[in-house]
Structure 1
Amino acid sequence: MSQHGIATLGAVFSAFSFVACMAGEAPQDVDREPGEEVVSEAEQAIKNGTPASPDEAMVVRVRLPGASCTGTLISSSRVVTAAHCLVSNTLGDYTVTYSGAARSVSQILKHPSASSGVDVGILVLSTPFSFGPLTEYPQVNVADTDGLIGMEVTCYGYGAEDVGGACTTSADCAAGFGCNTSVGWCYKPTTTLRKGDFTIISDPNDDDIWFRLDVPNASGQIPLPGDSGGPCILENTSFGTKHLVGVTKAGNNTSYSRYTSREAFASWVLAND
């Protein structure tokens, strides 16, 4: 391991830009429920989210032709994001941006069980970011999802800042909005990173692979499709550490948001650190 180890804490531990993913369809073998939208199919940042600074959780924007996702730096040269964001096998199609500084990509890794629902991937950067030696990256822990239930986490994502009405073309949308024809809704784009605080609840379909968030929260914040690959971060105030516990997978725009849990990806991420 390079810049972080496995934390021994038992209970601790995107977004697409306005254009929906035009580089290819979201993988059909990524598990989802009827009516659920894989994050690449629509676009919206955390609704009513609070603007955030990338250095709060080492959050990056992952760009590829016609689309972008959110990711998390776990070292100066490795980004964790959603596997369904990695629609191209061409290294030159990807650019990772942190606070205005851009890096190219030298390797694309997908979790070996990505087709079975572990929707996580890693991008290895050609040139590491020039951070100081005391930079703290979110830690990745090997621990059960059960220990997360009831915990409050902060989740991050890039994307549109508002959603409008139904549309078939951008002419149907209000000024400042454009039509995402893949889902038939108007969205207002932004480059602002946003965050919201949520409570983790169990996923009834597979609580070893995923968890859900109790949404909307008291502030009306809802992670909506488009926060692809964005992190949920648990802060352990006793130790002053932050932990990557979930990666945005999908949601239904109104009543739930699904994240791939650390239980499913931690060992693989640490083996590829």
Structure 2
Amino acid sequence: MKKQILPALGSMFCALSLVACMTGEAPQDVDQATGDEVVSEAEQAIKNGTPATPGEAMIVRIFRNGRSCTGTLISSSRVLTAAHCLASSTPGDYTVTYSGAARAVSQILKHPSASSGVDVGILVLSTPFSFGPLTEYPQVDVADTDGLIGREVTCYGYGSEDVGGTCTTSADCATGFTCNTDRDRCFKPTTTLRKGDFTIISDPDNDDIWFQLDVPNASGQIPLPGDSGGPCILENTSFGTQHLVGVTSAGDHINFSRCASREAFASWVLAND
């Protein structure tokens, strides 16, 4: 895999980064031997996931025609999510909510290689959220996926709380579960944002575009429908920064979960920030 040297993007993202970010903050550490960024593992803490708050990583919920996905604010007016969540080309079909506040959408952007597997898109909000000038958003850095393998990340989502058996109608499901006829499986819906800690593993099909999560984790957690578009966050505790390294894209809800890797989308995101 072609290696890329991480640019010093710290100051660039002061405007895109809930903690003060001061001009002139030290850049990210770099491994002098490999040139890879040195980012500490996420703290130990989305089937049966741990409840989370939107402000932990600027998480939003995206509604479209009765369906929902998850997304991340990368500025007060732009939401990064999965391209497959953007099935409609009509901005008026979408509503984005953050901590109970709702915003309409004015523009839909999809990665130019979305149809080839880079499952990432951006929603531009009609009206920005009213955050303070020192608000920090998760950083999207240009860096190779290889440096992420084996690291632990925290992934967030507004998706289902649990998964049950197969079904054709909700009558086939246990109490509290409903049938998702797109997948012919029973799921327990929730309105709670949840998170789980997962280890990144290489994707054997194309490790330039994707990485996988080692699922289920020790707590039996795995992303479920509705978690699509949610971020996987790696924290640099040395500098108090959050790095959005992947966007939840696909999975079988049993033992497979795939994310679009920042290696494939970071440059495009930075050009559309």
Q: How does 1:105-254 map to 2 (within 5 A)?
A: 105-254=105-254
CA contact (8 A) 1:12 1:148 kept: no
Q: CA RMSD in A?
A: 1.5
Given residue 16 of structure 2, which amino acid in structure 1 is its aligned partner? H
Per-residue CA shift, 1:21-75, capped at 9, x if unaligned?
xxxxxxxxxxxxxxxxxxxxxxxxx112100000000000011102010000000
Write the distance in 1 (CA, Å) between the matches of 2:88 and 2:194.
26
Write the distance in 1 (CA, Å) between the matches of 2:56 and 2:118.
25
Per-residue CA shift, 1:166-213, capped at 9, x if unaligned?
221112222222111122122121100110001111111111100011
Secondary structure in 1 aligned to 2:267?
Answer: helix
CA contact (8 A) 1:12 1:243 kept: no
Length-normalised TM-score, structure 1: 0.84
For structure 1, the residue ranges without an aligned partner over 5 or more in a row are: 14-45
**Could you say which residue in structure 1 is the equivalent of 2:6?**
none
Q: How does 1:253-268 map to 2 (within 5 A)?
A: 253-268=253-268
Secondary structure in 1 aligned to 2:249?
Answer: strand
Deviation above 6 Å: which 4+ runs of structure 1? none
Deviation at 1:12, TM superposition (A): 5.0
Secondary structure in 2 aligned to 1:84?
Answer: helix
**Seq. identity, %:** 81
Deviation at 1:225, TM superposition (A): 3.9
Write the distance in 2 (CA, Å) between the matches of 1:245 and 1:117.
16
Length-normalised TM-score, structure 2: 0.84
CA contact (8 A) 2:159 2:224 kept: no
Deviation at 1:164, TM superposition (A): 2.2
Secondary structure in 1 aligned to 2:265?
Answer: helix
- Is structure 2 residue 23 aligned with structure 1 residue 4? no
Q: How does 1:11-30 map to 2 (within 5 A)?
A: 11=37
Query: Which is further off, 128-137 or 221-230?
Result: 221-230
Given residue 114 of structure 2, which amino acid in structure 1 is its aligned partner? A
Deviation at 1:8, TM superposition (A): 4.8
CA contact (8 A) 1:225 1:252 kept: no
Given residue 127 of structure 2, which amino acid in structure 1 is its aligned partner? T
Secondary structure in 2 aligned to 1:156?
Answer: strand
**Could you say which residue in structure 2 is the equivalent of 1:51?**
51
Query: Which is further off, 89-98 or 182-191?
Result: 182-191
Secondary structure in 2 aligned to 1:270?
Answer: helix
Write the distance in 2 (CA, Å) between the matches of 1:184 and 1:77.
36
For structure 2, the residue ranges without an aligned partner over 5 or more in a row are: 1-11, 18-26, 30-35, 40-45
**Could you say which residue in structure 1 is the equivalent of 2:65?**
65
Deviation at 1:215, TM superposition (A): 1.4
- Is structure 2 residue 86 aligned with structure 1 residue 104? no
Given residue 4 of structure 1, which amino acid in structure 2 is its aligned partner? L
Deviation at 1:150, TM superposition (A): 1.1
CA contact (8 A) 2:84 2:119 kept: yes
State the aligned residue count: 240
Given residue 162 of structure 2, which amino acid in structure 1 is its aligned partner? D
Write the distance in 1 (CA, Å) between the matches of 2:185 and 2:254.
14
CA contact (8 A) 1:12 1:234 kept: no
Deviation at 1:226, TM superposition (A): 3.3
